[in-house]
Structures are given as structure tokens and as C-alpha cells.
């Protein structure tokens, strides 16, 4: 990948997925003794930054493409559905029978066909691969693809142009498409800028893979930051190397710390965010990312959270996470 790929992606997403607001956080700035800015990717039409990558990848498909397929039930699935509709393409999202109806409805509402296959994500993936192989659908991967990475990297241009003095960018980290794109572009635009990837401390596949020097599998456990779950793919071809070469550090957070991030963004900045989107705020409040000289930009990645669950979390009630209960804690500044 070269910087020109990201510049080209900027043109392809213009007017649809670009220029999300960059706003100050007076509370986090006061609390950390440095200027803190929030990049509100949660304001995207689909509620998350993934529209950038999906739109770029889908815009680059050859003219004869008749449809796209993916098997994400989350923010990538929404992004693919939306971007395909923009281009007038058929979209099929493959899911297992265990996916909650609300997610099925959310994706169908964006105009995609939902195909229910089997009882696991792996079985859904088999059907997606079959559609790609036998029926000529283009498969759009959630992170490990140059066009997806380039789309996410457009965020770095917007940040550095708006505020050339930004010293640190805090990026939620899962498969690493977002972190790879942002870190790659930001370092070319402004050598010396720091880019830090942030994950939950249980099931952080990219962190474990960076440590091991190769893609490793981790056990997926329920987390407030559910959008950060899942592996990086044992055949990872792009994001692991880009994260290894361009990220300055990775930071891991407890569920308690992530909850505090969600609560602070809600009560202080009046934002509704997913757990995954609040990890930047959480990393600053926990002190795991300390002050350095200059402003910090946090990527607030998405808002697609179940509102009933969100209300419980910000109210500080007990939260069930699979087999464990996160004991309630009311917000205190
Ligand atoms: C996908 C996602 C991430 C992580 O992005 P990767 O490219 O997989 O690292 C972070 N936050 C939200 C809300 C997401 O949907």
C-alpha cells in the first residue's frame, strides 16, 4: 500500500462517509492535562467508521460485478449493505441461525438480503465463500484487504489536516484494519506522531499476534467492547504486518475501565457509544496512556449498541457478560 491509495480512497468516499466531526472534550482535556479531541465516526450513516472501508472496496469492483457478499453481523455487515445499495449492487449477508433478530432486521433494513445458514459463524462463512466461488459474488472482508485498510486510513488525512499539531492518535483495535490504515497514513503525513492501539484484556487477538510475531487464535469471550472480538485470521496477509510496523504500542483494558469510558463519554460529552468506541477515553482515564506533549485524538468508532443494555451500563447496574457479572458501579467523575 502507498499513500496514493489512501488519497484515491478519499475521492471515492467523498460526500458519503468522509468528514465526520472532530470535537473537543473539555472533560477529558481537563482530566488529563492535555487537549483531547474526539473524532466522531459514530456519526456515520451506518453508525460506525466501517462505511469508509466498505465503500472504498465496493467502488473499486469491476463494472461487471453483480453483487457482494460478507458474513459480518455487526458494523461491517451494515456498511457493506449500505455501500452496495449506493452502487446499485445486490448484497447478501450470511449469518448463523443464532444471530439475534434485531441484527437481522438492522441489516435487512439497509437493503441487504440476509441468508441464514447453519448454527455458527464458520458455517455462514462457508456459504459466503461458496457464493463468491460459484456465483460470482465479490466477497468484502472486514479488515484484511488493502482497499478496506485504505478506506479506514482516510481518517488520518482528516485528522492531520484539521489539526497538524496532533501528537497522539488512540485507535480501537480488533482485526486491525482501522489501526493499520490510520497508523500507516499518519506516520507518512507526520513522522513522529504516536499511534496507539487499544483492545480489551480478554481475547485481544491482534495484541497476542503482535507478541507472538504470527497470527494466533484467542478464545472469544463476551465483552462490553463486543465489536473488538474475533480473530485476525490465521492467513492474515496485511493488517498484522502494518500494525507491527506502524503502531507505537498496544494497550489492554479491563471491562471496568471500558465501562468508565462509556459512562464518561455519556455523562460528560453526552455521547452514546459502543464499548469498542469508548476504549480511547477509557485508556486515558485509566492512566494506561499517559500525557505526552501535544493534543490527543480519540477515534470514537461507533454507536451501534443495544439501547436497553446501554441504559443499564451508564446507570451503573450489574451487567451480564456471558458467565460473568460485571458488578454495578455508578459513574463518579
Ligand atoms: C470493527 C470495529 C472496530 C475495530 O476495527 P478493526 O479494523 O477490526 O480493528 C472498532 N470499533 C468498532 C465500533 C468497530 O465496528
| Predicted confidence (pLDDT) at residue 315 exceeds the cutoff of 90 | yes
Q: What is the DSSP letter of 112?
A: P
Domain boundaries, the chain: 3-48+146-326, 51-139
Higher pLDDT among residues 119 and 239, named by residue:
239
Specify the DSSP element, H or E, that contains 67. Answer: strand 67-70
Identify the pLDDT of residue 333: 84
Our CA angle for 221, 77, 308, nearest 5°, is 60
Identify which of 333, 145, 135 has the alpha carbon closest to the alpha carbon of residue 239: 145
Do the domains 51-139 and 3-48+146-326 match in fold?
A: yes
Class of domain 51-139: alpha beta
Q: How far apart are the CA of 25 and the centre of ligand 1, in A?
A: 22
Q: How far apart are the CA of 60 and the centre of ligand 1, in A?
A: 22
Q: How far is CA 30 from CA 40, 125, 265, in A?
A: 20, 46, 14
For residue 297, give the C-alpha cell.
Answer: 485524538
| Predicted confidence (pLDDT) at residue 106 exceeds the cutoff of 90 | no
Q: How far apart are the CA of 171 and the centre of ligand 1, in A?
A: 9
Of the residues 43, 276, 278, 306, which should be mutated to test ligand 1's pocket, given the most ligand atoms within 8 Å of the CB?
A: 276
Which ligand 1 atom is at minimum distance from the Cα of 179?
A: 9
Report how many helices (DSSP H) and strands (DSSP E) the chain contains, helices first.
13, 12
- Residues whose beta carbon lies within 6 Å of some atom of ligand 1: 48, 50, 75, 143, 172-179, 227-228, 274, 276-277, 301-302
pLDDT tens for each residue of 123-174: 889 999 999 999 999 999 999 999 999 999 999 999 999 999 999 999 999 9
| Predicted confidence (pLDDT) at residue 35 exceeds the cutoff of 90 | yes
Question: Rounded to the nearest 10 degrees, what angle do helices 3-13 and 50-59 cross at?
Answer: 90
| Predicted confidence (pLDDT) at residue 103 exceeds the cutoff of 90 | no
| Distance in angstroms between the alpha carbons of the first and the last residue of the chain | 43
The CATH code of domain 3-48+146-326 reads 3.40.50.1100
Give the confidence band of 303 by pLDDT, cuts at 50, 70, 90. very high
Q: How far apart are the CA of 227 and the centre of ligand 1, in A?
A: 6
Amino acid at each position: 500500500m502507498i499513500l496514493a491509495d489512501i488519497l484515491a480512497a478519499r475521492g471515492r468516499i467523498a460526500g458519503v462517509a468522509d468528514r465526520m466531526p472532530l470535537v473537543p472534550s473539555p472533560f477529558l482535556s481537563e482530566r488529563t492535562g492535555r487537549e483531547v479531541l474526539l473524532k466522531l465516526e459514530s456519526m456515520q450513516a451506518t453508525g460506525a467508521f466501517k462505511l469508509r472501508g466498505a465503500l472504498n472496496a465496493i467502488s473499486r469492483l469491476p463494472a461487471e460485478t453483480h453483487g457482494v457478499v460478507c458474513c459480518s453481523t455487526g458494523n461491517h455487515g451494515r456498511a457493506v449493505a449500505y455501500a452496495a445499495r449506493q452502487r446499485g449492487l445486490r448484497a447478501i449477508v450470511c449469518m448463523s441461525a443464532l444471530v439475534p433478530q434485531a441484527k437481522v432486521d438492522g441489516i435487512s433494513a439497509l437493503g441487504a438480503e440476509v441468508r441464514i445458514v447453519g448454527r455458527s459463524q464458520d458455517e455462514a462463512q462457508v456459504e459466503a465463500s461458496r457464493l463468491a466461488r460459484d456465483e460470482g459474488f465479490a466477497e468484502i472482508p472486514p479488515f484484511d484487504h488493502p482497499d478496506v485498510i485504505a478506506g479506514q486510513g482516510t481518517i488520518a488525512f482528516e485528522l492531520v489536516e484539521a489539526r497538524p499539531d496532533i501528537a497522539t492518535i488512540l485507535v480501537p483495535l480488533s482485526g486491525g484494519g482501522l489501526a493499520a490504515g490510520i497508523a500507516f497514513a499518519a506516520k507518512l503525513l507526520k513522522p513522529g506522531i504516536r499511534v496507539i492501539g487499544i483492545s480489551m484484556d480478554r481475547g485481544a487477538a491482534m495484541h497476542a499476534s503482535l507478541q507472538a510475531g504470527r497470527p494466533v487464535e484467542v478464545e472469544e469471550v463476551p465483552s462490553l467492547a463486543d465489536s473488538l472480538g474475533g480473530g485476525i485470521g490465521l492467513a492474515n496477509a496485511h493488517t498484522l504486518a502494518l500494525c507491527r510496523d506502524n503502531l507505537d504500542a498496544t494497550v489492554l483494558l479491563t471491562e471496568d475501565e471500558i465501562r468508565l469510558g462509556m459512562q464518561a463519554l455519556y455523562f460528560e460529552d453526552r455521547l452514546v457509544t459502543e464499548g469498542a468506541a469508548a476504549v480511547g477515553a477509557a485508556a486515558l482515564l485509566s492512566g494506561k496512556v499517559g500525557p505526552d506533549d501535544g493534543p490527543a485524538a480519540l477515534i470514537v468508532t461507533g454507536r451501534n449498541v443495544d439501547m436497553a443494555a446501554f441504559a443499564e451500563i451508564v446507570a451503573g447496574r450489574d451487567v451480564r457478560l456471558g458467565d460473568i457479572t460485571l458488578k454495578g458501579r455508578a459513574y463518579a467523575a
